[in-house]
Structure 1
Amino acid sequence: MSYNSYGAKIRGTTSKFFEKYGLAFVMVASYFGSGSVFIASQAGVQFGYLLVWAVVGAVFIGFIGQDMSARLGIFGVPLMTFARRKLGTGGATVLAAILSVGCVAWALELTAAVGTGISILLGGVVGWQPLAVLSGALAIVVGIQNYDGVERIMTAMMIALLAIYVTVAGVSSPSLSSIAAGFVPSLPGGSLTLAAAIIGTTALWPNFFLESNLVEEKGWTSAADLPSVRRDLGIGYLVGGATTVAIIVVAAAILRPAGYTSLETFITPGRALAEVLGDWAMVMFLLGTVAAAFNSIVPIMWTPAYLFQHARGRTADPGSREFKLIYAVGVAIGSLSPLVNEFAGLSVIDMIILFPAYNGIVSLPIAAVLLFWAVNDRETMGEHKNSLRMALVNASLVLLSIYLAATSLPGFVETVTSGGF
C-alpha cells in the first residue's frame, strides 16, 4: 500500500469516526482542563490513592447526567428551554445568570493557568497576568469558529494526555493493592473539598446543557441513535476517567514519597513526569496543561450563550451575532483573573482547585435537579419519559450532588476565607 493510499485510509477512518462519535470528547475535554490535572495531583499528593473512588463516582455521575441531557435533546427540548417553559422567562433568565457565574469562575482559573504556563515556558520574561488576559482574547477568536474543528482538536488532546499519563503511571512502580483499596469510598480528614472538586470538574454541569443542544450536530434525532450516544459517552468518559486516575497514581507514587505534601508551585505536578522521563517532560507537561486549559475555555463559555438565548425564548445559533457577543463578553470577564489574585489574595493554584469545587457545591446540584425534572416530565418527554428504573438510577445524580454540596460547603468556605490552601 502506497503512502498516499495509506494516508487516505486513515483520513477515511477518522472521518467515519467523527461522523458517528466525538461529541463526548468535546464534553470530556471541556472538563479536562488545568483543574483536573491539578486537582488529581493534589489528591495524590495529600491522600495517596484514597480518592480514586471519587473519580469513578464522578465519571458515573457525568455519564448519567449527559445521558439524560442527550435524551432530553433528542426527544424533548434543550434544558434551558425546558426551564423557561416551567419557570417563565424571568425565572429562567435569573437561573441562567446564577449558573453563568460558575462558568465565569471556571474561565478565571483557566485563563490564569494558561497565562502561568506560558509565562514559565518563556522563562518568566512576561508575567502571567497580561498573558492571562491575552489568552482570553485568543479564546474569543477560537470560540466563534466551527464545531467540527473544535471536536477534532479536543479528541486529539485527550488521547495524547491519556497516553502520557498512563505511560508514566505504568513505570512509576505504584502499589497495585493501594490503588485497588482506593476504589473503596473513604473520606480521610480534610478530603471533602478535594472530593467535591474532583466531582465538580468531572461531572461538569455545563455539559448537561451543551449535550442537549449539540446532539443535533451529530444527527442524533431518534431512539435508534441512543446506542451511539451511549457508546460515545462510554468511550469519552473511559478516556477521561483513566487519565484522571493515572494522574492521581503518578502523584501518589512519585511526589508523595518524595516528601511533597501540597502543590507548592504551578510546575510541581510536572516534576512527576520529569522524574520518570527527564527534564524535557516538564516542557511537555506545561504545553499539555496550557492546551488543556485553553481548550476548556471554549465549550464552558459557550454555555452562557446557550443559557441566555434559550432563557429569553431565542434560537441559540452559534453563528449569530448575539450568541457570539454573549460568549465574547463572558470570556472577557473570565480574563480578569489577575484582579482575583490582586484583590482576593487567591493564588493561581487556589483558583484552579477552588473554582471547580464551587461549581460542584453550587451549580452542579441546581443543574442536576433541573435535568432530573426535565427527563421525568411527560409533557416534555412524552412516551420517552423516564421509566421507574431509569428514574431511580438518575436520582443518584441528584442525591449525590446534593449530599456532596452540603458536606463540602463548610470546608470550601473555610479555605476561601482563610486565603486559600
Structure 2
Amino acid sequence: MSTKNFTPFQDVTEFTQKYGLAFVMVASYFGSGSVFIASQAGVMHGYTLLWAAAGAAVLGFIAQDMSARLGIHGTSLMVFTREKLGRPLATTIALFLSIGCIAWTLGLVAAVGAGLSFLLGGAVAWQPIAVLTTFAAIGVGLLRYDTVENMMIAMMLSLMVIFVIVALPSGADPSSVTTGFVPGTDTLGALAMAAGLLGTTALWPNFFLESILVHTKGWTDESDLPEVRTDLAIGYTVGGITTVAILIAAAALLRPMGYTELESFITPGEALVEVLGTWAMVLFVGGVIAAAFNSIIPIMWTPAYIIPQAAGCSVQKGDRLFNVLFAGLTGIGVFSPLVSWWLDLSVVDMVILFPMYNGIFALPVAAILLFWAVNDRKTMGEYVNSRALNGVNALLVLLAVSLAILSIQDFAKLITGGGF
C-alpha cells in the first residue's frame, strides 16, 4: 500500500487553492492609513486600545461573512442594488463610490513614493516614484486573480512577521498589554481613535468584492460556508496580529520617548532608529510601503466590477471592459503630485484625508446597502441575517453614520484649508 507524500510546496499550493480570498480583503484595508492609525493609537493612548484593534478584526470578519453569504445565497451587492433601485440610481451610486476608490489610490501611491524616497535618503522625490507606482499597480492588478491572491498572501504574512519582529524587542510590559485587551475607564477618552481603528478595518469596497469573488474560489453553496469562515478567520487573525504589533511597538517605544502624536506614518521608523537601530526603521518603513501598494489593487478592482454591474453588464476579471476600467481609473493615480500641489496637501494629509472621505461619504452608503441585502428575504431566502448578526450589522451602520456626522465639518475645513 503506497502513501502519498506532500512536499512543503504542495502543502502551500493546496492551501492557496483552498483559501486566500480573505488575504485579499485584509490587504485591501491594511494600507498606510491603517499603519498610521495603529501607531497613533499606541502613541496617544498606550495599550488602552488593544481591545479595539482586536475588535476591529472581529468586526471585519463578521462584515465579510455577511458579504460572502450574500454572494453564495443571493447575488453580489451591486447587482442587488441595481435590482432594487434600478440602473440609473445604481450607476450613480457606483460612480459616487468609485470617486472614493480613486481618492484612496491618490493617497496610496503618494505613500509608496514618500516611503521609498525616505529609504533612498531623499535622492529621489516622492512625486516621480508615485507616478511609477501607479503603472506598477496597473501591471500587478491585471495579472490573473490566482497570481495576485498568492502575492497578497505572501505580502500579508511578511507584513505580520515584519511588524512582530519590530514589536518583540520593544520591552512592552506583559501585564499592561493584557489589560489593554479589556475596555476600561481610560477608553472613554479614546473613543474617537477606537472608532478610527474600527472604521479603517471595516472597509466598504470589501463588502462588494467578497460577494463577487466567492464564486472565483468555487464557494457557491451553504456547505462551503465552513471553508469561507476558516479563510476569513485565518486572514483576519493575520491582520489583527499585525495591527496589534504596530500598536504595541508604538506604545512601548515611542510613547516613553515623549511622542504625543506622529507627524507622518514614517515617524515611527525614524524614532525606532534611536532605540533598536537602522534595521528596525528599514523594516517598518518597508512594511508601510508594501502595505500601501497592496491596498491599491483590490480597492481599484472594486469600481472595475461595480460600474458595469450597476449598468447591467456582466463582467469578470480579465474581460476587456474590466481591464480598461481598472487601468484607466487606477491610472488617475499619476495625478497624485498634481492633486497634492493643487489642494496644498502633504503626503500625510492625503494618506489621512482621502480614507476619511471614504469613511464619511462611502462607508455609510455601503453599510446600509449590505444591511438591506442580507435582510432581504427575496434575495437571501431562509439565509437572511439572524438577530445576533443584525445586531452587529446595525452597529456597523450606526458607527458609519455617526462617524460621518461627527467628522464631515472638520473634513471640509481640512480639505479646503490645506490639510492639517
Q: TM-score range by the shorter chain?
A: over 0.9
**Counterpart position of 1:409:** 408
Matches within 5 A, 1:166-315: 166-179=164-177, 180-181=179-180, 183-184=182-183, 186-188=187-189, 192=192, 194-271=193-270, 273-275=272-274, 277-315=276-314
| 1:74–1:220 contact (8 Å) kept in structure 2 | yes
The alpha-carbon distance between structure 1 residues 90 and 204, as it changes in their structure 2 partners (threshold 3 A), is same
CA distance in 1 between counterparts of 2:409 and 2:207 reads 26
Q: How is 1:103-142 mapped onto 2 (pairs within 5 angstroms)?
A: 103-142=101-140
Residue aligned with 1:257, SS: helix
In structure 2, what residue type is equivalent to 1:38?
Answer: F
Counterpart of 1:46 in structure 2 is: 44
Q: State the Cα RMSD in Å.
A: 2.1
Check if 1:37 corresponds to 2:35: yes
In the alignment, residue 376 of structure 1 is paired with which amino acid? Answer: N
Q: Could you give the per-residue CA deviations for residues 40-94 of structure 1, whole angstroms, max 9, x where no partner exists?
A: 1122222323333332332232112111110011111111000000111000001
Alpha-carbon distance, 1:151 to partner:
1.2
Q: 5+ residue gaps in structure 1?
A: none
**CA separation in 1, counterparts of 2:51 and 2:419?**
25
The amino acid of 2:373's aligned partner reads A
CA contact (8 A) 1:107 1:335 kept: no
Distance in 2 (CA, whole Å) between partners of 1:53 and 1:420 is: 30
* Alignment deviations for residues 181-222 of structure 1 (CA, whole Å, 9 cap, x no partner): 464162427x62x44442332111101100011101111111
SS in 1 for 2:256: coil
Separation in structure 2 between the aligned mates of residue 133 and residue 139 of structure 1, nearest angstrom? 10
8 Å contact kept, 2:343–2:415: no
C-alpha distance in 2, partners of 1:353/1:385? 36
1:55 paired to 2:53:
yes
Q: 1:126 to 1:9 in 2, by over 3 A?
A: same
Instruction: For 1:371, give the aligned amino acid.
Output: L
What number of residue pairs does the alignment pair up? 414
Please tell me whether the aligned partners of residues 47 and 251 of structure 2 are also in contact (alpha carbons under 8 angstroms): yes
How far off its partner does 1:392 sit? 3.1
Give the match for residue 67 of structure 1: 65
Cα distance in structure 2, aligned partners of 1:390 and 1:264: 39
1:404, 1:332 → 2: CA distance?
Answer: 30
Asked if residue 320 in structure 1 is aligned to residue 319 in structure 2, the reply is yes
Assess if the C-alpha contact under 8 Å between 1:265 and 1:349 holds in 2: yes
1:409 counterpart letter in structure 2: I
Compared with structure 1, are the counterparts of its residues 361 and 53 closer, same or farther at alpha carbon in structure 2 (3 Å cutoff)? farther
Mapped to 2, the partners of 1:205 and 1:247 lie a distance apart of: 23
Q: For 1:59, give the aligned amino acid.
A: A
Give the residue type in structure 2 aligned to 1:316. Answer: V
- AA paired with 2:138? I
- The answer on whether the counterparts of 2:166 and 2:284 sit within 8 Å (CA) in structure 1 is no
The residue identity in structure 2 corresponding to 1:170 is L
The structure-2 alpha-carbon separation of the partners of 1:340 and 1:43, relative to structure 1 and needing over 3 Å to count, comes to: farther
When residues 416 and 43 of structure 1 are mapped into structure 2, their CA distance, relative to the original with a 3 A threshold, is farther
Cα distance in 2 for partners of 1:176, 1:84 equals 51
Q: Which residue of 2 aligns with 1:335?
A: 334
Q: Is the 8 A contact 1:205 1:364 kept in 2?
A: yes
**Which deviates more from structure 2 when the two are superposed, residues 100-109 or residues 389-398?**
389-398
Distance 2:209 2:264 in 1: 33
Contact residue 109 and residue 292 of structure 2 kept, 8 A? yes
Is 1:100 matched with 2:98?
yes
Q: Cα 1:181–1:418, aligned 2, differ >3 Å: closer, same or farther?
A: farther
Residues 340 and 153 from structure 1, CA distance in 2 versus in 1: closer, same or farther, beyond 3 angstroms?
same
Alignment map for 1:156-171 (pairs within 5 Å): 156-171=154-169
Q: Matches of 1:316 and 1:52 in 2, distance apart?
A: 41
Alpha-carbon distance between aligned partners in 2 of 1:87 and 1:59, rounded to the nearest angstrom: 31
Equivalent position amino acid for 2:102 in 1: V
Give the alignment's TM-score, normalised by structure 2.
0.92
- Report the more deviating stretch, 142-151 or 338-347: 338-347
- Take 1:289 and 1:130, find their aligned partners in 2: how far apart are those partners? 18
Deviates more, 1:127-136 or 1:179-188: 179-188
Q: Distance in 2 between matches of 1:316 and 1:160?
A: 32
Q: Is the 8 A contact 2:20 2:149 kept in 1?
A: yes
Q: Kindly, what percent of the aligned residue pairs are identical? A: 59
Shift of 1:391: 2.8
State the 1:17 CA deviation.
Answer: 0.9
Q: Give the C-alpha shift of residue 371 in structure 1.
A: 0.7
1: distance between equivalents of 2:274 and 2:9? Answer: 36
Q: Which amino acid aligns with 1:91?
A: L
Please say if residues 200 and 361 of structure 1, whose CA atoms lie closer than 8 Å, have aligned partners that are also in contact: no
TM-score by length of 1: 0.92
Letter in 2 for 1:173: G
Q: State the alpha-carbon separation in 1 of the partners of residues 189 and 274 from structure 2.
A: 28
Equivalent-residue separation in structure 1 for 2:156 and 2:12 (angstroms):
15
Q: 20, 23, 26: which is aligned to 2:24?
A: 26
Residue 128 of structure 2 aligns with an amino acid whose one-letter code is P
CA distance in 2, matches of 1:416, 1:257: 32
Q: Within 1, Cα distance between the matches of 2:182 and 2:99?
A: 33
Shift of 1:285: 2.5
Conserved in 2, the CA contact under 8 Å of 1:357 and 1:412?
yes
Please state whether the residue corresponding to 1:124 is helix, strand or coil: coil
**1: CA distance between counterparts of 2:168 and 2:348?**
27
Task: Give the structure 2 partner of residue 361 of structure 1.
Answer: 360
| Alpha-carbon offset, residue 404 of structure 1 | 2.9
Alpha-carbon deviations, 1:212-253, whole Å to 9, x = none? 111011111111111111111111111101111111111111
Hey, what's the Cα distance between the residues in 2 that align with 1:133 and 1:266? 20
Please state whether the residue corresponding to 2:215 is helix, strand or coil. helix
Quick one: distance in 2 between partners of 1:366 and 1:139? 27
Alpha-carbon distance in 1 for matches of 2:397, 2:65: 14
Larger CA deviation: 85-94 vs 411-420:
411-420
